[in-house]
Structure 1
Amino acid sequence: MRIATYNVEWFNSLFDDGGHLLEDDRWSGRQDVKRGEQLAALGVVFTAMDADAVMVIEAPDDNRRRDTVLALETFAHKYGLRARKAILGFRNDTQQEIALLYNPDVLEAVHDPRGHETGKKGSADAPRVDGVFRWDVDVDADPDLITFSKPPLELELTVKETGRRLLMIGVHAKSKAPHGARSPDEIMRVAIQNRRKQMAQCIWLRQRIEQHLADGDSLIVLGDFNDGPGLDEYEYLFGRSGVEVVLGEAGAVKLHDPHARMALTRRVGPSPVTARFYIAPEKRYLQVLLDYVMLSEDLCALGPKWRIWHPFDDPVCYRTPELREALLTASDHFPVSVDLAL
């Protein structure tokens, strides 16, 4: 069984309010890419992955006028995907939902949020992800009130053939980029605030993970963490990255992702990357590791095989021109998949 995560840049702009595909020559949300071009490229990528389940990060918007599930299922039908049924958890206000596309022939999926609801005062004990988390991120004896702008998608999956039960958490953590800041001092202040919020979200998520691991659950945590070891200088303010917190620190039961491990142990030299952004002032591309598929130890015992669908670093992707170009056109992130014998 293949399980993947894929951040699709501005997937929302490719659908009208009725969930129909906008296969035309008008500009998409991606720089210099037409809507029809991006849709065709996404069709190639999803078809090549042929996954049983894809955690779609930045999925189409869900509100009174738009329907995430309808849009994703229309897309899946158009391109004949096996993963053709969609499920959404708590909607958000960013036009970037977190949703799962899965194959209903082999999997059953149920939205399974854990934790208790909170009021505005919040809770420090792993509240439900649409609530408020109280955590003193800056160690000033005054707890911060943390919310998820994009609440993680918590699911219970059942493998139909074997009856095996899995828990899955799809994540799109807070971006650390200082959007809207202008002066150097403001950029630094906003960047530190965002880093604190991102770290608190990861601590909140880790609390939930520890509950699952203590219960012996088979767990997959996947998505875009907007973070990784050594990614920016503000990491030194906290002593570690948010990804390290989610994976599990010294003495804790850990989740495993080989790409994260490589980045943690190789601070100098090449490391895996899952996203590629153009830096206009410098006229170059920045490549970073932001997307992960983390597994609990019992799933690691099944001999999983991870893959980053990178157009240049993956030999098969590179030697397949149609797929290579589609990956570059479809999004600024590349899919990450894991094959598991479930």
Structure 2
Amino acid sequence: MTGELAGDLAGDLAGQPLRLATYNVEWFNALFDDRGRLMEDGGPSSRYKLSRAEQLGALGIVFAALDADGIVIIEAPDTNGRRSTTRALENFAQAYGLRARKALIGFPSETEQEIAFLYDPDRLSAHHDPQGAPSTSHGSHEAPRFDTTFRYDLDADSISETIRFSKPPLELAITTASGAKLRLIGVHAKSKNPYGAIGREAQIRLSIENRRKQLAQCLWLRQRVEGHLAAQESLVVLGDFNDGPGIDEFEKLFGHSGVEIVLGTTPDPTLRLTDPHAAMALQSRVGVTPTTARFYLAPQKRFFEALLDFVMVSPDLAARQPEWRIWHPFNDPRILQIPELREALLQASDHFPVTIDLPLGSLPPGV
């Protein structure tokens, strides 16, 4: 069935735009053993009331339907002394017959959640290409390499704080089969949730501190973005920012959301990134906005939706009029017509994929 879905939604690849995706897969690591083999059994997955086989089957349907040339996977399986992200993902791709079948990661995470790229080697080549100089342990104010330390004065007290990524962004140099060159940055920014805090005051303090860290990471990202834009490089920044315009009451304390910072707050359009879903949220702080994630809140006994996942592109790519799509099981009419895909999206993760179709056919090599 996965092959049929891919055929229905993608069709012939010849002359098609380059499709890139970002997808946060909840508890992906728990679906593989230490040798990277799929645990397709009746044992419970970490998804509520789902077996590992059911979650894997749902993920197989979703990835096949996406039929993307390259997918940034957020919360990908772990890499450590025993486990391998790339081995697990390539086994997954083989099991479900995906053409995006080659995997890579950048700097390993301090957590069990990696940022990985799963791609079709017939459509593009990719390699980890980190930018910025490594900082000392003291840190650097000038966009250091993402696995080192950044310094920034967040509260204007003339004392700069040190910031690190627990999940360093994945920086890729990509060349398509036609010779077009892109820069790609995969992001999983700091969560603002006050995990572990007990009591309202402690929760507020931790929420503010986590937002400060998330904003600092976005300021660091923005410095890197500005370097690529100054070099006139085609750039895609995508992933889970754990943030969005107007998403919580703490945003007004800092003036901008982290997403706005990465997009660029300058009026100069040549220095701004584009994401139409972020633009919709910015233009309608109250009212209907797109969403990419769906969480169950037990105390309220209801679901909460948020816009957390983005695909941002540089001005030269935005000028090509790419097509963005949130694969939301209830808000996308094309998905509503395919019940199997709708249910798979609900079972596979608490986030929904976001894709962009980039028409790069006439992009000159080296741009």
**TM-score under structure 2 normalisation?**
0.92
Residue 199 (structure 1) aligns with: 215
**C-alpha distance in 2, partners of 1:149/1:32?**
29
Letter in 2 for 1:153: L
**C-alpha distance in 2, partners of 1:137/1:150?**
21
Residue 182 (structure 2) aligns with: 166
**C-alpha distance in 1, partners of 2:278/2:311?**
9
Letter in 1 for 2:184: M
**C-alpha distance in 1, partners of 2:50/2:326?**
23
What aligned pairs does 1:1-342 form with structure 2 within 5 A after superposition?
Answer: 1-160=18-177, 162-252=178-268, 253-342=271-360
Please state whether the residue corresponding to 2:53 is helix, strand or coil.
Answer: helix
**C-alpha distance in 2, partners of 1:6/1:52?**
13
**C-alpha distance in 2, partners of 1:259/1:287?**
14
Alignment size in residue pairs: 341
Q: CA deviation at 1:140?
A: 1.9
| Per-residue deviation, residues 106-127 of structure 1 (Å, max 9, x unmatched) | 1010101000111210000000
**C-alpha distance in 1, partners of 2:277/2:69?**
22
Runs (4+) of structure 1 moved beyond 4 Å? none
Letter in 1 for 2:77: P
- Please report the RMSD computed on the Cα atoms of aligned residues, expressed in angstroms: 0.7
Structure 2: which 5+ runs fail to align?
Answer: 1-17, 361-367
**C-alpha distance in 1, partners of 2:202/2:188?**
25
**C-alpha distance in 2, partners of 1:210/1:48?**
34
**C-alpha distance in 1, partners of 2:220/2:141?**
8
Q: CA deviation at 1:61?
A: 0.2
**C-alpha distance in 2, partners of 1:31/1:224?**
22
**C-alpha distance in 2, partners of 1:46/1:142?**
46
**C-alpha distance in 1, partners of 2:339/2:224?**
42
Q: CA deviation at 1:93?
A: 1.8
Percent sequence identity is 61
Please state whether the residue corresponding to 2:137 is helix, strand or coil.
Answer: coil
**C-alpha distance in 2, partners of 1:35/1:14?**
6
Residue 8 (structure 2) aligns with: none
| Per-residue deviation, residues 17-75 of structure 1 (Å, max 9, x unmatched) | 00000001111121222111000000000000100000000000000000000000000
| Per-residue deviation, residues 188-228 of structure 1 (Å, max 9, x unmatched) | 11101100000000000000000000000000000000000
Letter in 2 for 1:309: W
| Per-residue deviation, residues 143-190 of structure 1 (Å, max 9, x unmatched) | 110000100000000012x21110000000000000000011110111
